[in-house]
């Protein structure tokens, strides 16, 4: 039997008993996933340099998750983990072909044999839509419409992967493509309008599918640099800044990092408001789970009081500002500090949506719905921090053990301590190394790390590879 047909049949048959027992209308799911947004880059997480009233309102009506982790401190591996519920190294997505993330015309991508969160929910009758940045492979075999999404509009990788990149002489990137489904509809789209256009498509998807269960994934390309915002959100910028931004020859990464961060975040906040308003307008807000989070720590923003940034396995690189909202089902105005991860969303949504998990592979995520509703503690005995393919740290309860020797992760992103032990309850900023005082804790966490590395080696799966990758371009 054809491999893809066999996989689809397996999923459908497996989920039938569960779906029959499900409610008449299973819940909708929305994930808003930003790019390079730090732990302090929301007002409700203490940020004074940004204004996020709609997300703050979402937090007031829902719950802030203060120990919510992504599985990697960089774009591609973090997104692979979200989509599959697995640590990136398990599915060979912790590193690109020859760079830390996937680039244009990369031969590597998320293996079509992997079963994504979209495919799991689609097997239970969900409509699935994705609008934004993919970054899990730009070849036709790897695009979202081949990974369970009925609709897709967006860019296949980061918006700085284009001919105006500062290192273009080295990379030689092709023009940035904008896709609708698998069709390139524009080259070099105006990035100032990406947030607006993505939001419009997301709202249209909600309106069109209000009578059916749906999964909506909105991975915004921003606030990854270079920073952008549409004109309505740049009105408060000084005139001299606007003049420089209007002159494309004067645009540079430094200017956009410094002046455009607040407008960029404000437009993302507006986007979240538009989505919440659409749910309420269609009277499906009380049956929709909405999660706002980011793919990794900040490049331009702040992670206060955490230490570390994008690319680092310090807390600031992987602990994300996260809000969950579901009226009548999620505690209102509370803070939940239980350890949870982006990998947990796949099994959690599957359980809520009446879909069965695939039984032929290891999935690292856990069903965290009882944790989100305040009825249970974290199901994770340990959480593992990977920097590319290297296990650098492990957390169990309040303890975090850094395994690797000190190193600089990237220019300007600081050093990673190691070996070092931190009590995250007392020292969230990872400043006081207490490794000499708790040898039994160190021994226990090292044993977790050793066991997991062994298990991962025995139960890992390959990435997808194409033999002759080509840049995406418009059909002639």
Q: How confident is the model at residue 237 (pLDDT cuts 50, 70, 90)?
A: confident
Residue 392 resides in a domain: no
Predicted pLDDT at 384: 98
Residue 394 resides in a domain: no
Q: Which residue has the tokens 């789209």?
A: 189
Predicted TM-score (pTM) of this structure: 0.93
Q: Which residues are within 8 A (CB) of 73 and not within 5 positions of it... i.e. 6 or more apart? A: 296, 297, 308, 310, 311, 312, 313, 317, 318, 387
pLDDT of 10 above 60: no
* Mean pLDDT estimate for the chain: 91
Predicted pLDDT at 211: 97
Instruction: Identify the weakest region by mean pLDDT among 12-21, 110-119, 168-177, 221-230.
Output: 12-21
Structure tokens at 166: 């500062």
Average pLDDT over residues 169-173: 93
* φ/ψ of residue 439, rounded to 5: -60, -30
Q: How confident is the model at residue 5 (pLDDT cuts 50, 70, 90)?
A: very low
Catalytic residue numbers read: 75, 135
pLDDT of 17 above 90: no
Residue 462 resides in a domain: no
Q: Cα(7)–Cα(165) distance, rounded to whole angstroms?
A: 40
Calculate the alpha carbon distances from 156 to 60, 106, 306, 472 in Å. 34, 11, 31, 9
Average pLDDT over residues 159-186: 94
Element (H, E) at 186: strand 183-187
Predicted pLDDT at 146: 97
Q: How confident is the model at residue 24 (pLDDT cuts 50, 70, 90)?
A: confident
Q: Which residue has the tokens 């000190």?
A: 406
pLDDT of 331 above 60: yes
Nearest to 234 by CA among 267, 191, 258: 267
Average pLDDT over residues 350-375: 97
Give the residue with greater pLDDT, 238 vs 2: 238
Instruction: Identify the weakest region by mean pLDDT among 8-17, 55-64, 86-95, 129-138.
Output: 8-17
Measure CA 274 to chain center.
20
pLDDT of 243 above 90: no
DSSP class of residue 134 equals: -
Predicted pLDDT at 406: 45
Average pLDDT over residues 102-121: 98
- Cα-Cα-Cα-Cα torsion 207, 209, 214, 216, nearest 10 degrees, comes to -40
Residue 284 resides in a domain: yes
Q: How confident is the model at residue 253 (pLDDT cuts 50, 70, 90)?
A: low
**48-75 confidence digits (pLDDT tens):** 999 999 999 999 999 999 999 999 999 9
pLDDT of 3 above 90: no
Residue 15 resides in a domain: yes
Predicted pLDDT at 254: 57
Residue 417 resides in a domain: no
Q: What percent of the chain has pLDDT over 90?
A: 84
Domain count, the chain: 1
Ramachandran quadrant class, 178 (left: phi over 0; alpha: psi -120 to 50; beta: rest): beta
Helix and strand numbers (H, E) in the chain are: 13, 19
Whichever domain contains 29, its CATH number is 3.40.720.10
Q: Cα(172)–Cα(473) distance, rounded to whole angstroms?
A: 15
Containing domain of residue 22, as a range? 3-381
């Amino acid at each position: 039997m054809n491999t893809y047909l066999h996989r689809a049949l397996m999923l459908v048959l497996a989920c039938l008993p569960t779906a029959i027992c499900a409610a008449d209308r299973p819940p909708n799911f929305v994930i808003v996933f930003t790019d390079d947004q730090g732990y302090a880059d929301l007002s409700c997480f203490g940020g004074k340099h940004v204004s996020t009233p709609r997300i703050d309102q979402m937090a007031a009506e829902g719950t802030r998750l203060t120990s919510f982790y992504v599985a990697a401190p960089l774009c591609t591996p973090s997104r692979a983990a979200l989509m599959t519920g697995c640590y990136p190294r398990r599915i060979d997505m912790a590193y690109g072909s020859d760079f830390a993330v996937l680039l244009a015309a990369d031969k590597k991508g998320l293996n079509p044999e992997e079963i994504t969160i979209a495919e799991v929910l689609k097997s239970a009758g969900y409509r699935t839509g994705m609008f934004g940045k993919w970054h899990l492979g730009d070849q036709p075999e790897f695009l979202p419409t081949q990974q369970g999404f009925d609709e897709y509009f967006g860019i296949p990788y980061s918006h700085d992967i284009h001919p105006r990149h500062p290192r273009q002489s080295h990379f030689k990137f092709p023009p940035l493509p904008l896709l609708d489904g698998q069709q390139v509809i524009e080259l070099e789209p105006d990035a100032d309008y990406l947030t607006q256009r993505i939001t419009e498509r997301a709202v249209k998807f909600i309106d069109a599918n209000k009578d059916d269960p749906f999964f909506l994934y909105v991975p915004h390309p921003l606030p990854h640099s270079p920073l952008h915002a549409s004109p309505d959100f740049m009105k408060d910028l000084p005139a001299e800044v606007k003049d420089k931004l209007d002159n494309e020859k004067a645009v540079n990464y430094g200017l956009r990092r410094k002046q455009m961060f607040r407008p960029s975040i404000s437009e993302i906040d507006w986007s979240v408001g538009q989505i919440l308003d659409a749910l309420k307008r269609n009277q499906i807000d009380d049956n929709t789970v909405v999660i706002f989070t980011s793919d990794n720590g900040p490049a331009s923003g702040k992670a206060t009081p955490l230490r570390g940034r994008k690319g680092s396995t310090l807390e600031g690189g992987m602990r994300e500002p996260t809000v969950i909202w579901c009226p009548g089902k999620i505690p209102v105005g509370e803070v939940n500090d239980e350890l949870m991860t982006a990998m947990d969303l796949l099994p959690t949504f599957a359980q809520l949506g009446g879909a069965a998990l695939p039984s032929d592979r290891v999935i690292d995520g856990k069903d965290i719905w009882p944790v989100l509703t305040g009825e249970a503690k974290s199901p994770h005995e340990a959480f593992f921090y990977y920097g590319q393919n290297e296990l650098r740290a492990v957390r169990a309860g309040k303890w975090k053990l850094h395994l690797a020797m000190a190193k600089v992760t990237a220019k300007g992103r600081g050093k990673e301590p190691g070996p070092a032990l931190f009590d995250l309850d007392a020292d969230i900023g990872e400043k006081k190394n207490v490794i000499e005082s708790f040898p039994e804790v160190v021994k226990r966490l090292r044993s977790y790390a050793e066991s997991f590395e062994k298990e991962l080696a025995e139960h890992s799966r390959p990435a997808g590879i194409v033999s002759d990758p080509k840049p995406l371009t418009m059909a002639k």
